[in-house]
Amino acid sequence: MRVRKEHALGKQEASNRVGAIADSLCSSYGLTSSWVDNELHFDGNGVKGCIHVEEHFVEVTVKLGFALSMMAGTIRQSLEEAMDQHLA
Protein backbone atom coordinates (compact mmCIF):
# COMPACT_ATOMS: atom_id res chain seq x y z
CA MET A 1 0.00 0.00 0.00
CA ARG A 2 1.21 3.50 -0.82
CA VAL A 3 -0.04 6.77 0.59
CA ARG A 4 1.37 10.05 -0.72
CA LYS A 5 0.81 13.53 0.72
CA GLU A 6 1.94 16.79 -0.85
CA HIS A 7 3.20 19.46 1.57
CA ALA A 8 4.73 22.93 1.57
CA LEU A 9 6.88 22.47 4.69
CA GLY A 10 10.28 21.87 3.16
CA LYS A 11 12.27 18.70 3.60
CA GLN A 12 13.66 19.38 7.10
CA GLU A 13 10.34 20.36 8.69
CA ALA A 14 8.57 17.46 6.98
CA SER A 15 11.24 15.10 8.35
CA ASN A 16 10.67 16.47 11.84
CA ARG A 17 6.95 15.91 11.55
CA VAL A 18 7.38 12.42 10.11
CA GLY A 19 8.90 11.54 13.48
CA ALA A 20 5.52 12.30 15.07
CA ILE A 21 3.76 10.13 12.48
CA ALA A 22 6.23 7.32 13.19
CA ASP A 23 5.70 7.61 16.94
CA SER A 24 1.95 7.23 16.36
CA LEU A 25 2.42 4.22 14.08
CA CYS A 26 4.94 2.56 16.38
CA SER A 27 2.79 2.90 19.47
CA SER A 28 -0.41 1.84 17.70
CA TYR A 29 1.04 -1.20 15.95
CA GLY A 30 4.06 -2.21 18.08
CA LEU A 31 6.66 -1.25 15.47
CA THR A 32 10.32 -0.28 15.61
CA SER A 33 11.78 2.43 13.38
CA SER A 34 15.09 3.90 12.23
CA TRP A 35 16.21 6.63 9.83
CA VAL A 36 18.30 5.88 6.73
CA ASP A 37 19.05 9.12 4.86
CA ASN A 38 15.63 10.68 4.07
CA GLU A 39 13.63 7.52 4.79
CA LEU A 40 12.23 6.30 8.05
CA HIS A 41 12.10 2.50 7.92
CA PHE A 42 9.75 0.65 10.23
CA ASP A 43 8.79 -2.95 10.87
CA GLY A 44 7.00 -5.16 13.28
CA ASN A 45 4.97 -8.32 13.45
CA GLY A 46 3.26 -8.56 10.06
CA VAL A 47 4.17 -5.09 8.77
CA LYS A 48 7.19 -3.52 7.10
CA GLY A 49 7.63 -0.24 5.29
CA CYS A 50 9.17 3.17 4.99
CA ILE A 51 8.27 6.84 5.01
CA HIS A 52 10.12 8.67 2.23
CA VAL A 53 10.51 12.43 2.75
CA GLU A 54 11.11 14.87 -0.11
CA GLU A 55 10.97 18.66 -0.41
CA HIS A 56 7.31 18.72 -1.55
CA PHE A 57 5.85 15.34 -0.63
CA VAL A 58 5.94 12.45 1.81
CA GLU A 59 5.21 8.92 0.66
CA VAL A 60 4.50 5.98 2.93
CA THR A 61 4.97 2.46 1.57
CA VAL A 62 3.65 -0.40 3.69
CA LYS A 63 3.76 -4.15 3.17
CA LEU A 64 1.25 -6.02 5.30
CA GLY A 65 1.36 -9.65 6.29
CA PHE A 66 -1.70 -11.84 5.78
CA ALA A 67 -3.37 -11.15 9.12
CA LEU A 68 -2.96 -7.38 8.87
CA SER A 69 -4.03 -7.33 5.23
CA MET A 70 -7.56 -7.87 6.54
CA MET A 71 -7.26 -4.43 8.17
CA ALA A 72 -5.75 -2.65 5.13
CA GLY A 73 -8.62 -0.15 4.86
CA THR A 74 -8.39 0.83 8.52
CA ILE A 75 -4.60 1.10 8.35
CA ARG A 76 -4.78 3.25 5.19
CA GLN A 77 -7.31 5.54 6.85
CA SER A 78 -5.10 5.89 9.95
CA LEU A 79 -2.11 6.76 7.77
CA GLU A 80 -4.04 9.34 5.78
CA GLU A 81 -5.41 10.96 8.94
CA ALA A 82 -1.97 11.09 10.58
CA MET A 83 -0.42 12.60 7.46
CA ASP A 84 -3.21 15.16 7.13
CA GLN A 85 -2.79 16.13 10.79
CA HIS A 86 1.00 16.32 10.89
CA LEU A 87 1.79 17.65 7.42
CA ALA A 88 -0.85 20.39 7.20
Report the CATH number at residue 25: 3.30.310.80
pTM listed for this prediction:
0.85
Q: Under 8 Å CB-to-CB from 15, ≥6 apart: which residues?
A: 38, 53
Query: 36-67: per-residue pLDDT in tens?
Result: 999 999 998 888 999 999 999 999 999 999 98
Decide: 3 and 60 in contact? Cβ < 8 Å: yes
Of 67, 87, 79, nearest to 42 by C-alpha is 79
Split into its structural domains, the chain has a count of: 1
Residue 79 backbone class (left: φ over 0; alpha: ψ -120 to 50; beta: rest): alpha
Residue 83: its pLDDT value, please?
87
Domain of 60?
2-86
